Structure 1
Amino acid sequence: MMETIMLFFSALVDLSNAMAPYILFGLVFAGFLHELVPDSIVKNHLGKDSVMSVIKATVFGIPLPVCSCGVIPLAAGIKKSGASNGSTLSFLISTPITGIDSILATYGMFGWIFTIYRVVTSMIISILAGLLSNFYAHEEKEETVQKKPAFSMAAPTKNTSVTSFSAVATPVFPKDTNSEKRGSMVTRAFSYAFGTLLKDIASPLLIGLLVGALITVAVPDNLSEILIKYNWLSYIIVIAIAVPMYVCATASLPIAAGLMLAGVSPGAAFVFLSAGPATNTVTIGVVKKMLGTRTLYIYLGTIIAGSLLFGLGLDYLFRDVNVKELVHMDGDAGLTAWIASLVLWGFVLYYVIKPYFFKDKECNDGSCCSA
């Protein structure tokens, strides 16, 4: 028992050291991106039912460091601002699958080939979904999203039904109005990175690290052998878990690493990285209400089929590579990795514990309510 616990903490430390430097750098980059990108840039380019609008929506969404819950009000905002169904759907898919913080963390953990593959395939899935929506669902009667007097970035909680979701038109890149005029751009960028964005992903990131470490040490050897022998079974299991589950792009990485270290194929792990962040039960309900039933079918069908297809493609690409060699976790992490890991854990634990001491202030600052 004690040996298992020690192995768990060892795996947790290795995962943290492998990801932390890239996550922190990505957060800083995201903070400056948030400050430099004009609020109106997406709204002014996504209104037409055209191929170019869908491509623009996908490209705009790829680098944005927004999680699965944060993208919902953003998508509602650009839809209310006049974006087409296809553009909205492309943005809704591409944004949570990637993000500059997730891209850098993917590179740090899986290497540049895996990273490029993840980004390119997410673009293809997003563009295809948008084009299909514009072509097959443009005549579908859209349900109107009711207006509220105030806008909140809060995702529906367990006490809020998905069908009651509503939002008003807002800037696609909402700024912190209380701090926008205060301090320098550098101060605001760091405030957004570590005060808003990291808070939004703290809880799912903590869960992802714990689950990833647990998978690494707890999956029985015979289960790994079964999944390796019957690769199709691992795909079915992963897709069944990933579609309804809420997990952000960055937090999905340690889980995928745990699966691969346990012997699951890179393709099956990729399916989780693709379908997990792009779908969850809340987003499914919002897509149905905001864009219609036909678009919902396109949304789910494209993500599931695309993830499975590209997962098989990744397995073919890495057919002669040892799965465990794809996960880059140095047992002798340098001082930078240790410092970054300590900083990351300090922020994560702070944001996870804080709501229990300040419950009356929770989710009043426009966050995703994930911390």
Structure 2
Amino acid sequence: MPKQVQDFITLSLGVIIEALPFVMLGLFFSIIVRLWLPHDWLLKYLPKQPFLRRALISLLGVFMPVCECGNVPLARGLLAKGLTPAESLTFLLAAPILNPVTIITTQQAFSDDNTVLITRILGGFLIANLIGWIYSSTRQDAMLRPEFIAICKEKKDNSNKLVDALHFFKHETRSMMPALVIGAMVAGFIQVVVPRETILLLGNSPAWSVLVMAVLAFVVSICSSVDAFFALAFRGSFTSGSLVSFLTFGPMIDVKMLSLMRTTYRRNILLQVSVLVFLMSMLIGLVVNYVF
């Protein structure tokens, strides 16, 4: 078997194996949210003021420490319980960065440089809330796929929650697993095709390094709980701002994440959000390089 084919299989399987436990954990939380939490439980405790409401939603990841790939099924459950699509995007984008496991591993990897940790947390919080604000007036049917809206409107027999849980698990698994496999294969293919030497060549440029690491974050699709140690390997070759850009953009938008989000959101919305998050993450990286 050719080495490139072996690398493709290894990288693709690596993404799947890394992401699968978190997807299952996200499905577990999603089913609990849908079936066992009272319908108005979450909405009752959220502030009515939009900015405070989004800020609190973006902090839910602190209390639900699931990797970004597991947050997609969880967000689907929160949508079914009354969260707006814009609010669900705020949760999805902020949760993997504000996850306590992510914060701890980032601090351990960059223990001698608090700039990376602080800008990652603040940048993730700011971007998530800006995206939520931008789409706060967009209609639900303009953001969500019709198939998902139909699922949210399904009426289940509350007398047998175990049967309902199995129904949701089966449906969500059918939606998520093909998306995860396709996303992993795309990530593996791109990593095999793009030479590592080309990436390292641009590492010392304050501007180009930010662009390269943001693109790399999109391609490699590493879970946020371990991506800081991956970024640490590039520390000697790349600027600090580029590492911040990698650690901000990757947990929010990558090949695997987009494939999973496609099960819920319309393609045009995902394209717009991806571009906006990419530009904002690059801006944060450039500010770190040129100001700090």
TM-score range, shorter chain: 0.5 to 0.7
Q: Give per-residue Cα distances to partners, 1:163-184, cap 9 Å, x unaligned.
A: 99xxxxxxxxxxxxxxxxxxxx
Alignment of 1:88-167 (within 5 A): 88-110=88-110, 111-136=113-138, 138=140, 140=142, 142=144, 143-145=146-148, 146=151, 149-151=167-169, 156-157=176-177, 160-161=178-179
Q: Secondary structure at the match of 2:82?
A: coil
Once superposed, what is the RMSD of the aligned Cα atoms? 3.5
Determine if contact 1:249/1:277 at 8 Å carries over to the other structure: yes
For the pair 1:84 / 2:58, whether they are aligned, the reply is no
2:273 matched residue in structure 1? 299
For the pair 1:269 / 2:243, whether they are aligned, the reply is yes
Separation (CA, whole Å) in 1 of partners of 2:246 and 2:58: 20
CA shift for structure 1 position 64: 3.6
CA shift for structure 1 position 231: 3.2
Determine if contact 1:244/1:279 at 8 Å carries over to the other structure: no
CA shift for structure 1 position 48: 7.2
Give 1 or 2: higher helix fraction: 2
2:235 matched residue in structure 1? 260
Deviates more, 1:130-139 or 1:53-62: 130-139
* Contiguous gaps of at least 5 residues in structure 1: 1-33, 165-218, 319-371
Separation (CA, whole Å) in 1 of partners of 2:209 and 2:167: 46
Q: Which amino acid aligns with 2:248?
A: S
CA shift for structure 1 position 161: 4.1
Determine if contact 1:46/1:87 at 8 Å carries over to the other structure: no
Determine if contact 1:65/1:99 at 8 Å carries over to the other structure: yes
Q: Which amino acid aligns with 1:251?
A: V
Alignment of 1:50-65 (within 5 A): 50-62=50-62, 64-65=64-65
Q: Which amino acid aligns with 1:97?
A: I
Determine if contact 2:179/2:259 at 8 Å carries over to the other structure: no
Separation (CA, whole Å) in 2 of partners of 1:125 and 1:89: 11
Separation (CA, whole Å) in 1 of partners of 2:202 and 2:257: 33
Matched residue pairs, number?
224
Determine if contact 1:49/1:84 at 8 Å carries over to the other structure: no
Determine if contact 1:57/1:87 at 8 Å carries over to the other structure: yes
Q: Structure 1's 301 and 141: CA in aligned 2 closer, same or farther, altered over 3 A? A: closer
Q: Give per-residue Cα distances to partners, 1:314-370, cap 9 Å, x unaligned.
A: 11343xxxxxxxxxxxxxxxxxxxxxxxxxxxxxxxxxxxxxxxxxxxxxxxxxxxx
For the pair 1:233 / 2:208, whether they are aligned, the reply is yes
CA shift for structure 1 position 285: 3.5
CA shift for structure 1 position 126: 0.3
Determine if contact 2:176/2:260 at 8 Å carries over to the other structure: no
Separation (CA, whole Å) in 1 of partners of 2:69 and 2:274: 17
Separation (CA, whole Å) in 1 of partners of 2:264 and 2:125: 22
Please tell me whether Structure 1 or Structure 2 has the larger radius of gyration of its CA atoms. Answer: 1
CA shift for structure 1 position 281: 2.8
Separation (CA, whole Å) in 2 of partners of 1:223 and 1:65: 32
Separation (CA, whole Å) in 2 of partners of 1:86 and 1:49: 15
CA shift for structure 1 position 294: 4.1
Q: Structure 1's 116 and 231: CA in aligned 2 closer, same or farther, altered over 3 A? A: closer
CA shift for structure 1 position 86: 1.2
CA shift for structure 1 position 271: 1.4
Separation (CA, whole Å) in 1 of partners of 2:53 and 2:214: 29
Q: Secondary structure at the match of 1:124?
A: helix
Q: Give per-residue Cα distances to partners, 1:213-254, cap 9 Å, x unaligned.
A: xxxxxx87x9757521x3333223222222243211121111
- In the superposition, the TM-score normalised over structure 1's length comes to 0.52
Q: Which amino acid aligns with 1:140?
A: A
For the pair 1:281 / 2:255, whether they are aligned, the reply is yes
Separation (CA, whole Å) in 2 of partners of 1:298 and 1:109: 32
Identity %: 19
Q: Which amino acid aligns with 2:207?
A: W
Q: Structure 1's 48 and 241: CA in aligned 2 closer, same or farther, altered over 3 A? A: farther
Separation (CA, whole Å) in 1 of partners of 2:229 and 2:44: 37
Q: Which amino acid aligns with 1:300?
A: S
Q: Structure 1's 39 and 305: CA in aligned 2 closer, same or farther, altered over 3 A? A: farther
Q: Give per-residue Cα distances to partners, 1:37-85, cap 9 Å, x unaligned.
A: x967645456979333322211222564211211011100001111001
2:4 matched residue in structure 1? none
